[in-house]
Amino acid sequence: MNQSTPPIPAWGIPDPVRGVTGTEPLLAVDDLHVEFATRRGTVKAVNGVSYALNPGETLAVLGESGSGKSVTAQAIMGILDAPQARIPRGRIRFRGTDLLRLKEDARAQVRGRRIAMVFQDALSALNPVFTVGSQIAEMFRVHQGTSRRDAEARAVELMDRVRIPGARQRLHDYPHQFSGGMRQRIMIAMAIALDPEVLIADEPTTALDVTVQAQIMELLAEVQRDSGMGMILITHDLGVVADVADKIVVMYGGRIVENALVHDVYRTPAHPYTKGLLKSIPRVDRKGRELYAISGTPPNLLDMPPGCAFAPRCPYRQDNCTTEAPPLYRIGPTRGSACHYWREVLDGSHG
Amino acid sequence: MAATGDAVLEVRDLVKYFPLTEGAIFRRQVGVIKAVDGISFDLRRGETLGIVGESGCGKSTLAKLLMGLERPTGGSVRVCGREIAGARGADLKRVRPTVREIADVKGADLKRVRRNIQMVMQDPYTSLNPRMTVGDIVGEPYEIHPDAAPKGDRRRRVQALLELVGLNPDDVNRYPHQFSGGQRQRIGIARGLALQPQILVCDEPVSALDVSIQAQVINLLARLQRELGLAYVFIAHDLSVVRHISDRVGVMYLGKMVELGRDAEIYSQPAHPYTQALLSAAPVPDPDGRERRERIVLQGDPPSPADPPSGCRFRTRCWKAQDICAQQEPLLQLRPGTWHESACHFAQVHDVMPSF
């Protein structure tokens, strides 16, 4: 809706691969490691995560609490809690430039403008003492130096675009005066204000009701269709993923355990964890029978088991699983599985 | 509906209005929030009634009314034939002048009734006292109801309860923070079972848990029901979980029950437009055919329960609404062409749920 991306990256570094579409993804996370220093020791929250996102694509990052899915997103945005958080290794390339090597002022040019984020809890992400109009307008005033009046006019346009009824009247309302769904629309309005190339949505509908969730997912899909941005959808909800994702990365204990195109994962999961999650969904033909349940509990990041993090809960476990951590095996042109026994998992020979 | 003799829980015309006040010093009532507005159902021994609905529909207020934690503005709740919650005469007269007076239940009477109805809370992180050991938490009901178990027998009973819910009986001296979310929810369930109730009210018992843990807790609830003949009121927003565990399902919207029927009827033959919209909006964990799925996306948010629409409360978001919907409130009853009750003037069976 506003001006298109400048041909040269805003921070002035020439971009060698620009225009050679197909060789360089829009965003590539490469062998990312994130650690947190805590009183009880170092927590390795992310251990060698790699994924890539292309324009117009929706990548779902699926995982439970503590799997590292949100920390990876915060590393991309550059909003990890300093000084506890450290990135000992890894690269985050955005259109070929490693964001981790940029100075903070160059990074700030990317954050919010070219890579934007929608947070789970809109009530705590919005500032309670400013009107929503001023918070949306701030995007234009800070990043583009727009005058107060113009910024306000564009805030109204955006609120219309995310379908907030009576946008002009509600400009001067405060966040608490909106419902949960409307607040999430305001967050989306702020995120898409500057036409970002990448939108990271961290559990954008988890706090919302089903019918409102449907509205928000439809809105996100529409924004994406119009602008061709790439979207990273972070969620624990297998239903939401199946509805919107093109490809999936499944995370467990700070690692990627499976990556694949969405249809492949749901048809033939190649990692015991993914398979267990899909089997544990209540389905109509299994009503009244016992649900399949993954035994045990997710690992404690302070005390990770040696070898495969999923081994203590895994029905496919063999002796070497508790000693050798499986790499992300490439098991097809578009998919990988971090399980020594992915062939057996695919065949469904047990479990 | 079951015969009355069979029902362990009878709910009749249950109403809860919260006063809406204004002014800090001279508080005056400016209106009411109609949180629950005329709900009736029966629950039979060993049966599970699922209650689905979105936030603000009154399902958690309903749970509190069933437990006698809130006093109803009108109507009654009978547990095993005993009154747990009746409105005080004066309250009742203000709302519905014609309803007969119902005795005020409190103190010892309420306590006696509560032995048969217990609750499992949503959030296992805040519903267990962090300063109490697991043994004290699970055994606390015996402090309140000393006649339920002789003093010397309590420790053994607590350990048996822990074993029943799949925890180690030797864990009695540990504290809640030493347990994972799923284990904490098991502690909450053990506490709910301590008095051997007939009915367990579960308010979103798995929604705070990780996906891989939810199935464990659902299986536990199903097993306990089989072994102990428990009846559940299972309140949740996850439609597939509710379908899995429920014998009957009630759908709530803005304080009203809009549809009530057997699980298969609600899920494959929904007759109320709201139920149809709710089912069609639920994400299906199967990407095949997602482009062709019929999806009814409702516009806007539910109206405020302080000022609900006249007639049918769903009419402001309903694509079928006509003049009659604003004038006449549709009652929850059998409608032509359906085998279960629905509250819509234009109720019509329409299958929207893909059969995953």
Residue B292 touches partner A, C-beta closer than 8 Å: no
DSSP states of B104-135 as a string? ---HHHHHHHHTTEEEE-S-TTTSS-TTS-HH
Which pair of tokens denotes residue B168? Answer: 């180690």
Helices (H), chain B: 59-67, 89-95, 107-114, 134-144, 154-164, 181-193, 211-228, 239-245, 263-268, 273-281, 323-327
Residue A211 touches partner B, C-beta closer than 8 Å: yes
DSSP at B244: H
Q: Which of A235, A252, A291 to mutate to test the interface with B (most CBs of B within 10 A)?
A: A291
pLDDT of residue B356: 53
Q: What are the tens digits of pLDDT across the range B328-348? A: 999 999 999 889 999 999 999
pLDDT of residue B346: 94
Are B273 and B314 within 8 A, CB to CB? Answer: yes
Q: Region B166-185: what's the mean pLDDT? A: 91
Number of H helices, E strands in chain B: 11, 12
pLDDT of residue B86: 61
For tokens 């891989």, name the residue. B212
Q: Which of A182, A209, A211 to mutate to test the interface with B (most CBs of B within 10 A)?
A: A211
Neighbours of A7 (CB within 10 A): 8
User: Mean pLDDT per 10-residue run, chain A (351 residues)?
Assistant: 38 35 82 93 93 95 91 94 89 95 92 92 88 94 92 93 88 90 91 94 86 88 91 93 94 96 95 94 84 89 90 95 94 94 83 45
Are A232 and A220 within 8 A, CB to CB? Answer: no
ipTM of the complex: 0.81
For tokens 């689905």, name the residue. B52
Q: What are the tens digits of pLDDT across the range A305-328? A: 889 999 999 999 999 999 999 999
Confidence band of B4 (pLDDT split at 50, 70, 90): very low
Q: Region B65-92: what's the mean pLDDT? A: 75
Residue A293 touches partner B, C-beta closer than 8 Å: yes
Q: Region B169-197: what's the mean pLDDT? A: 92
Going by C-beta distance under 8 Å and a sequence separation of 6 or more, which residues neighbour residue B39? B11, B13, B14, B15, B58, B62, B75, B252, B255, B256, B257
Phi, psi of B151 (to 5 degrees): -55, -45
pLDDT of residue B229: 92
CB distance A280–B212 less than 8 Å? yes
Strand partners, A62: A235, A250
A264 → chain B, closest CA residue: B287
pLDDT of residue A264: 95
pLDDT of residue B3: 38
pLDDT of residue B181: 87
Ordered by where they begin, the domains of chain A are 27-245 (3.40.50.300), 271-347 (no CATH)
pLDDT higher than threshold 70 for residue B180 = yes
- The SS3 assignment for A93 reads strand
Residue A286 touches partner B, C-beta closer than 8 Å: yes
pLDDT of residue A13: 33
Instruction: Please tell me the number of Cα atoms within 13 Å of A270 on its side-chain side.
Output: 26
pLDDT higher than threshold 50 for residue B1 = no
